Amino acid sequence: MSRRQHRFYRPAPANDAFTDLLFNALLGFAFMFFIAFILISKPDQTGKTDNKAEFLITITWPDQHPDDIDLLIEDPRGEILWFENKDTGTMHLDRDDRGIFHDQIVIDGKKITNPINQESASLRAWIAGEYVVNILHYRANYNVPVPVRVKIEKLNPKVKLIYYGVHDLNQIGQEITATRFTLDSAGEVSDISQLQKKLLGQIQTKRAG
């Protein structure tokens, strides 16, 4: 080694080498943490389900009323949606309301009541043909008529009211057809009527067979 090289040469202290090694290790850990972070799904994106629906059918009766009213819907295939068959593939019973007596729970010794009486069903896809929408007075606690409001809405591409009506149910076991509507291949309503058709009897006949 020349004198000129010897004059400017200084051996690296041992602690400097250790610092470089530590820095590189920390840099590596930081890089791996960054990669892992970007691969983790955001918390608000987990647990989501696709609740897409094309039609919504809702029935309501007076708040805090004890009677049990049921919704029954028949699709063009003859499949019937009701409280014992809550999913037909294209139709789903979103809420089965059994009246105010069944909308009460006790929390910390206090009775909590949901006063709203409402059942709803959604059509997640449509089939061309006729749908029959019935209401059934499953359980009665009073001897006075129960006014039941029936509403059918088309949801896409924007909300459109298809049917709205109020029907009185007078006694236990009474079943009436609130409305019948026909959908074409594009999901548009082509016909609405109130021609009566019993659906509970069809269910019982199928079971007996």
Task: For residue range 96-146, list pLDDT tens digits in order.
Answer: 776 554 555 556 666 555 668 899 999 999 899 999 999 999 998 888 999
- Comparing 89 with 26, which gets the higher pLDDT? 89
- Residue 45: the pLDDT is 44
Q: Name residue, tokens 């006694």.
A: 171
**Model confidence at 64: pLDDT above 60:** yes
Domain boundaries, the chain: 3-44, 55-208
Mean pLDDT over the full length of the chain: 81
- Phi, psi of 164, rounded to the nearest 5 degrees: -145, 130
Name which CATH class applies to 55-208.
Answer: mainly beta
pLDDT tens, residue by residue, 146-162: 999 999 999 999 999 99
Q: Which of these ranges, 59-63, 64-68, 98-102, 147-151, has the smallest mean pLDDT?
A: 98-102
> CB within 8 A of 152, min separation 6: which ones?
55, 56, 57, 58, 133, 161, 162, 163, 164, 179, 181
State the Rg of the chain over Cα.
33
* Residues 45-70, mean pLDDT to the nearest whole number: 80
pLDDT tier at 208, thresholds 50, 70, 90: confident
* Residue of 132, 136, 118, 101 whose CA lies nearest to 195: 132
> How far is residue 126's CA from residue 162's CA, in Å, rounded to a whole number?
14
Q: What is the pLDDT of residues 3-33, one digit of tens each?
A: 444 444 455 555 566 566 666 666 665 656 5
pLDDT for residue 47: 43
Q: Where are the alpha helices (DSSP H) in the chain?
A: 3-8, 14-39, 200-208
Spatial neighbors of 96 by CB under 8 A, at least 6 apart, are 70, 83, 86, 119
